[in-house]
Amino acid sequence: MTVCEYRPGLEGIPAAQSSISYVDGQKGILEYRGIKIEELAEKCTFLETAYLLIWGELPTKEDLEEFETEIRYHRRIKYSIRDMMKCFPDSGHPMDALQTSAAALGLFYSRRALDDPAYIRQAVVRLLAKTPSLVAAFQLMRKGNDPIQPNDDLDYATNFLYMLTERKPKPLAAKIFDVCLTLHAEHTMNASTFSARVTASTLTDPYAVVASAVGTLAGPLHGGANEEVLLMLEEIGSVANVRAYVEKCVENKQKIMGFGHRVYKVKDPRATILQHLAERLFYELGSDEYYDIALELEKIVEEKYGAKGIYANVDFYSGLLYRKLGIPTDLFTPIFAIARVAGWLAHWKEQLAANRIFRPTQVYTGLHDIAYVPIDERVSVNNNNGSHGKIY
Ligand code: CMC
């Protein structure tokens, strides 16, 4: 066996072989199953894209209709799950609510038959169908309202916005939201996908796979940057302040949210598509000053940092779009999760098809041959000598 050098964060180390998605960070290319993201965003719905990611090829008309029908049928969530969710604290973060309720699905659909294609199909359909319902249900419950039932006449994106806001969205808003889901559906070996694959490799159930991935996505280094972008735009406050803000960041070596990427050294292709969508949405629904600030900020950041390969990433415009669609800021990451369920499930299936349990090694940095000290002879190394940090 080759002995590898330790790389913090496994940077640059392949964790799997995968044919699901591909990124070329120098050229700004993202492909799902070999098809460019620009083409999918323009021509495909999110469910069509999810089908492509999970089953490996674009569905025929009949396949897609069947898939959509199954998903419509499974959108409802059981009353017992709703009752369980009613016990969640209103102040809890929606990502915690989603992780808990996604894991709870495994209690209610507990059969685990990973070699049965019908079971795989049902799990895929249930998770894609129910994740938006779980997010919308928690949103209404924390406002003190009962969740509303899905509307079978509405497509995936329209129905989610309807369940979330209690009114039917404009067609353009639903269309744009659907494209946002497509753009976030998959992105090679990121932290939550790795987490999903590790969990999948133990042959546990797919609800646990998704719950562990949701928990990983919840961290601010992964799913939360678009929330930070909005806070930053609020802090900047006006177009006139943008240049001074960027100059202050350069001086203080402070990162500008929504810019830079570990892989992309040119503008993230998803940011380009989102920018076009933002243009359309703000044109139709009316611009706001944060959008104007964002445009100015992108221009000045490119001027200052472009030579370093720092450009807008997927998070720069998505928060602005979601806010214009009336979505509360703390739901941005759960919405990312709704989309990414497609990618996680594709990786779950791919992992099962050639499974080997993840069991990496470590570089031990501790001591050896230390003598055991009886408890009465030990000296405390904990010098807080009070109740600090203790929970009674
Ligand atoms: N603003 C200013 N300078 C930056 C930025 C930025 N947003 N991003 C990177 N740099 C600079 C950084 O200061 C460093 O400079 P120097 O070499 O002089 O020390 C250099 O570029 C390399 O930065 P790094 O943090 O080592 O690069 P990375 O590849 O580890 O970071 C990143 C990638 C996304 C963590 C980082 O760009 C960042 O923190 N961006 C802001 C947060 C953000 O927008 N996150 C969303 C990421 S996209 C979502 C996804 O696809 O998962």
Q: Measured in angstroms, how far is the CA atom of residue 261 from the centroid of ligand 1?
A: 6
Decide if 266 contacts 309 (C-beta within 8 A): yes
pLDDT at 221: 81
Q: Whose CA is nearest to atom 6 of ligand 1?
A: 255
Query: Given a cut of 70, is residue 385 above it in pLDDT?
Result: no
Report the interhelical angle of 156-165 vs 171-184 (nearest 10°): 110
Decide if 321 contacts 281 (C-beta within 8 A): yes
- What 3-state class would DSSP assign to 170? coil
Label the pairing between strands 29-32 and 21-24: antiparallel
Is 187 a pocket residue for ligand 1 (Cβ < 6 Å)?
yes
pLDDT digits (tens, 9 = 90+) for 51-90: 999 999 999 999 999 999 999 999 999 999 999 999 999 9
pLDDT digits (tens, 9 = 90+) for 183-221: 999 999 999 999 999 999 999 999 999 999 999 999 888
Burial of 371 by CB count in 10 Å (0-12 exposed, 13-18 middle, 19+ buried)?
exposed
- Considering the segment(s) 32-218+333-353 as one domain, its CATH architecture is Orthogonal Bundle (1.10)
Distance set, CA 311 to CA 92, 231, 232, 292 (Å): 34, 19, 16, 17
**What are the structure tokens assigned to 183, written together?**
């753009």
Round to whole Å and give the CA distance between 227 and 218. 12
Q: Measured in angstroms, how far is the CA atom of residue 50 from the centroid of ligand 1?
A: 29
pLDDT digits (tens, 9 = 90+) for 105-150: 999 998 889 999 999 999 999 999 999 999 999 999 999 999 999 9
Domain ranges of the chain: 32-218+333-353
How far apart, in Å, do the first and last CA atoms of the chain sit?
49
Which band of pLDDT confidence, cut at 50, 70 and 90, is reported for residue 289?
A: confident
Query: Given a cut of 70, is residue 1 above it in pLDDT?
Result: no
Which amino acid, 243?
R
Burial of 34 by CB count in 10 Å (0-12 exposed, 13-18 middle, 19+ buried)?
exposed
Is 260 a pocket residue for ligand 1 (Cβ < 6 Å)?
yes
Is 274 a pocket residue for ligand 1 (Cβ < 6 Å)?
no
Residue 182's region, left for phi above 0, alpha for psi from -120 to 50, else beta, is: alpha
Is 190 a pocket residue for ligand 1 (Cβ < 6 Å)?
yes
pLDDT digits (tens, 9 = 90+) for 216-260: 999 888 887 888 899 999 999 999 999 999 999 999 999 999 999
Q: Note the pTM of the prediction, 2 decimals.
A: 0.93
What are the CB-based long-range contacts (under 8 Å, 24+) for 9-18? 10/194, 11/262, 14/189, 15/189, 15/194, 15/197, 15/358, 16/189, 16/197, 16/347, 16/350, 16/351, 17/354, 18/188, 18/189, 18/347, 18/350
Q: What is the set of active-site residues?
A: 261, 315
CA atoms within 13 A on the CB side of 207: 22
Query: Given a cut of 80, is residue 384 above it in pLDDT?
Result: no
